[in-house]
Structure 1
Amino acid sequence: MHTELETAVLLNQAPQTKLFNSKQPLQDKLVYTRSVKQVIKEKLEAMSTQKWELDQENAFFVGDLGEVYRQHLRWKSLLPRIEPFFAVKSNPDPMVVKLLASLGIGFDCASKSEIQQVLSVGVEPSRIIYANPCKQASFIRFAAQHNVARMTFDNAEELFKIKKLYPDAELILRILTDDSKSLCQLGLKFGAPLDTINNLLQTAKDLNLNVVGVSFHVGSGCLDENAFADAVVRARWAFDQGEALGFKFNILDIGGGFPSGNVTEGITFEKIAAIVGPAIDAMFPSNIRVIAEPGRYYVASAFTVCTHVIGRRTVTNEENETQYMYYVNDGMYGSFNCILFDHQQVQPKVLSRDGNLMFDEMKEDERTFTSSIWGPTCDSIDCLSKEAKLPALDNGDWIYWENMGAYTICAASKFNGFKQSEVIYTNTFE
């Protein structure tokens, strides 16, 4: 009996079911209880019967809420002491937020809008951390009005601002870590160097502000699990400095940087958990609350985007070999902005050819061609894959892309007038 999930998702109601929260149901969102492939298949079949419907060939996502829940169970199993606070910025999809809120986890918010979204689904202010070290004044006032007390800082100017606007806030000092092994080095923008910590804490004490703990972030897309252990050591040092000044720290926030569910080689979540869990237990007593800010960990592997081939161009290289340029109806300015902003390498797979579903299954002797894949805009930067080996495709065929749930649709624009891709939901958890 998976009672925890059943408080969030009504199971075994074919063909569709509703995700809900006991305080505030989402009545307008439906969730299938079928495999991702089956949902995609039925979507394409529906298109074939609605041939002349406007925009019916638009790109679309399938979001698997069951995969989000599996990631939650995995976290609880491997890092039972550490409370996850989902990083909303990674994917503020309303159904994802609704599910995670129903599961009782916390939320890492970076703006007024994110705080509003989380509060609107019934999350208590105590389950929110305003984890942006440099905050707009009106946003701090909003946090104060809604009792969102826990927030981060890394500089003296921020302390003076908070003293004026929210003197009762519960402050968490964000320290600088070694993020040189991460794809996105957040230390370029945030984090107090260790040699500034004493002065910062003394300033907070002089202002009679309540500093309750320490946070860090090893960078997004961390490629070295040892970076977490090193950061924990730095945090312990910062704790000691605070306690020497009379602060009673009670919380450690280890940030994000955790790999997603599709990462099975190299730096896996299991490897990180095996290092960071024991490191925390060795250096922080059980009365210290430990939280984290996973984002991509929860959502990256849960979303698949399907794109329609809207154009093909045949070219030849210097060796007179045939190559193809394919144009699809989602791109760099839409759901694939993760290529530019998040350093992701996306993998195209053939979904259908000539109306026949393939799901990347080809004959052993199938001929492939060197191909490039481009988004729909008129900008040449809009390239999704510069060199992929694909069979010959044509207008009307489909390409799908897995592991597209993190930092994708959340940053999509409507550049050149193209719509953002819709999301169809399913729940594959059994």
Structure 2
Amino acid sequence: KNVQLTVVDNEDELIKLEKHWPNVQILIRLKTKDSKSLISFSDKFGANEHIATRLFELAKKLNLNIVGCAFHVGTGCYDDNAFQHALQFAQHIFQIAKKYQFHLTILDIGGGFPGFDEDHRPSFSQLAQTIRQSLDEFFPQRENIQIIAEPGRYFAAASMDLVASIIACRSNNKDYLNFSSKEEKENVDKDLIDYVYYINESTYGSLSNILYENTTYSITCLRKEHSQLIKHGETKYKSIVYGPTCDSSDIVSLAVDLPLLNIGDHLLIYHVGAYSNSFSTKFNGFQTIKYFYIWKD
């Protein structure tokens, strides 16, 4: 109700809109160079220049109103050039629109912004600077252009940390380990693994980004007694952390340095706010049980 804007990237959608929603305002979804993003979208979404031109032609024939462009450089974008290329392409599409008497007034630059700074990756500030510079270059007169951004990951990623309990552990015997893939065998020397831990969270739960985005989370430990962080200088051992499910690929970390831990101790996993518990499948009946909201300055 009261929605007045939608996005298309193909002619079939325009035909549907002409039949069912002829007064809608339309954005053309553009294809981007997002191969360096954690999850790219351009294989599934987006029009190239040729398709965009055909959309303008068809929209004119169907008396539909195209009012702008939208793009998304992929979720978890760490390539500031992706925004530069996308904005340059959008500016080109704005010019093509004029040939078909469409006056574009909306530019949706999507999301993909990181939620916290990481070593060896562009920060949000760096990406924002690139976007501002590119807007100045390609849209110098943009007073009448509404610019939309979708910074979901930026707001969510660092908003939640996860505390998982150790529910089982064993000192490692190399005969236990039988990695299922060649890649795992190449990346992990099982003779160097000292301990194996099982926790009550899973890649089927709040840690699904380990599978989808190959995420490596920052992990520390809390002792069961008094919920204290581990002491500085404690001896650490190469460890594997598994989830609780029956799936042998439910691996939280194949090789992480941890102190000697006991059942009931906890792993504190940082920055799991984006695309985490919302992806939980409750596979095997396991799920995140409690949420605590902490407000601090």
* TM, length-normalised to structure 2: 0.90
- The structure-2 alpha-carbon separation of the partners of 1:286 and 1:395, relative to structure 1 and needing over 3 Å to count, comes to same
Give the C-alpha shift of residue 422 in structure 1: 2.8
2:295 is matched with which residue?
427
Query: Structure 1: which 5+ residue stretches go unaligned?
Result: 1-145
Distance in 2 of aligned mates of 1:412 and 1:320: 33
Give the C-alpha shift of residue 223 in structure 1: 2.0
Does 1:290 pair with 2:161?
A: no
1:351 is matched with which residue?
222
Deviation per CA, 1:40-80: give whole Å up to 9, x if none.
xxxxxxxxxxxxxxxxxxxxxxxxxxxxxxxxxxxxxxxxx
Q: 2:86 aligns with which of 231, 235, 238?
A: 231
1:161 is matched with which residue?
16
Deviation per CA, 1:314-359: give whole Å up to 9, x if none.
2134897671111111101100111112331122210224x14333
Deviation per CA, 1:109-148: give whole Å up to 9, x if none.
xxxxxxxxxxxxxxxxxxxxxxxxxxxxxxxxxxxxx011
Deviation per CA, 1:277-334: give whole Å up to 9, x if none.
1211332222111111111111101100100100012213489767111111110110
- The structure-2 alpha-carbon separation of the partners of 1:301 and 1:316, relative to structure 1 and needing over 3 Å to count, comes to same
Amino acid at match of 1:248: H
2:235 is matched with which residue?
367
Counting aligned pairs with the same residue, the percent is 36
Contact 1:370/1:390 (8 A) holds in 2? yes
- The structure-2 alpha-carbon separation of the partners of 1:170 and 1:391, relative to structure 1 and needing over 3 Å to count, comes to same
Amino acid at match of 2:49: L
Amino acid at match of 2:138: M
Deviation per CA, 1:230-274: give whole Å up to 9, x if none.
110000000111121001210000111111124365211111111
SS of equivalent to 1:387: strand
Q: 1:313 aligns with which of 155, 164, 170?
A: 170
- The structure-2 alpha-carbon separation of the partners of 1:425 and 1:313, relative to structure 1 and needing over 3 Å to count, comes to same
- The structure-2 alpha-carbon separation of the partners of 1:321 and 1:202, relative to structure 1 and needing over 3 Å to count, comes to closer
The count of corresponding residues between Structure 1 and Structure 2 is 281
Matches within 5 A, 1:69-80: none
SS of equivalent to 1:184: coil
Higher relative contact order (CA 8 A, sep 6+): 1
Contact 1:262/1:301 (8 A) holds in 2? no
Contact 2:167/2:264 (8 A) holds in 1? yes
2:207 is matched with which residue?
336
Distance in 2 of aligned mates of 1:379 and 1:322: 20
RMSD: 1.7
Query: Structure 2: which 5+ residue stretches go unaligned?
Result: 176-189
SS of equivalent to 2:196: strand
SS of equivalent to 1:162: helix
SS of equivalent to 2:292: strand
SS of equivalent to 1:425: coil
SS of equivalent to 2:211: helix
Deviates more, 1:233-242 or 1:310-319: 310-319
Give the C-alpha shift of residue 229 in structure 1: 0.9
SS of equivalent to 2:195: strand
* TM, length-normalised to structure 1: 0.63
Does 1:194 pair with 2:62?
A: no
Distance in 1 of aligned mates of 2:207 and 2:238: 21
